[in-house]
Amino acid sequence: MKSLILIGPPGAGKGTQAKKLLEKYGIPQISTGDMLRAAVSAGTALGKQAQPIMASGALVPDDIIIGLIDERLREPDCAKGFLLDGFPRTVPQAEALETLLAEQQVTLDAVLSLDMHIDRIVARLAGRRTCGDCKTVYHVEAMRPRVDDVCDRCGSGLETRGDDTPEAIRVRMQAYQDRTAPLLAYYGQKRLLVRVSAEGTPAEVYERATAVLDRRIRSRSA
């Protein structure tokens, strides 16, 4: 069983690495956002509790999130493990998750943190351009359109998102650091934290991440 948590700031490439890790280890991705939307759509008991809260724009309480994770981990496709993405975000959430995993007799293998300097994140996110019509995303360095500021797909103009200005990005990053630093310390004390540089190409980051994860999984299963 391979049970992993993925943590990282906006722009660190969590989505790309999550997809690669799921394929390598043959485990499902557990996204709290996806679970909430699915529960609301299905009209489950927890979904009915969450729906008015989500509609109001408020944060869904931890006990509902934990209940959804509890249900999800009992599904057959989680028998070989899981990759938890987007939760926990705080130490109280981590403590609640630890209690849940103990009840299900599940051992957490590692908490993978993708690390990147704030200046690199600002440069990466500030370079994003989004089509105003079809919403295709480009990047001034990594994925340029054929014609500057014009969408390849529909020919519409490209825009910079309001939250992708350098000033807005730094505010988001400060909030992330304030919220996540105690969580990293929490998992570091439990010797579960694995920190990997998110600098370089996606392939380079993947090689670094899987090298350390493979060693850790082998040592914990020995």
CB 2 within 8 A of CB 80: yes
HSE-CB at 31 with a 13 A cutoff on CA atoms is 10
Instruction: End-to-end CA distance of the chain: give it in Å, rounded.
Output: 13
What mean pLDDT comes out for the span 68-92? Answer: 91
- Given pLDDT bands bounded at 50, 70 and 90, which one contains residue 37? confident
Structure tokens at 123: 């440069």
Q: Can you name the residues that pair with 4 across neighbouring β-strands? A: 83, 110
Token couple for 104? 């299900």
pLDDT > 70: what percent of the chain? 99
Question: How far is Cα 69 from Cα 91, in angstroms, rounded to an integer?
Answer: 17
Structure tokens at 92: 């109280």
Positions annotated as catalytic residues are: 14, 89, 128, 161, 172
pLDDT single digits (tens) 142-171: 789 999 999 999 999 999 877 778 888 888
| Alpha carbons 58 and 103: distance in angstroms, whole number | 29
Structure-token pair, residue 197: 């540089």
Q: Where are the beta strands (DSSP E) in 86-208?
A: 110-115, 128-131, 137-139, 158-159, 193-197
- Number of Cβ within 10 Å of residue 26's Cβ equals 10
Q: Which two tokens stand for residue 206?
A: 């993947």
Phi first, then psi: what are they for 87, rounded to 5°? Answer: -160, 135
What was the pLDDT predicted at 181?
85
Determine the distance from the C-alpha atom of residue 111 to the mean position of all C-alpha atoms in its chain, rounded to a whole number.
12
The whole-angstrom separation of Cα 68 and Cα 53 is 15
Interval 169-182 mean pLDDT: 84
Q: d(Cα 170, Cα 163) in Å, to the nearest integer? A: 10
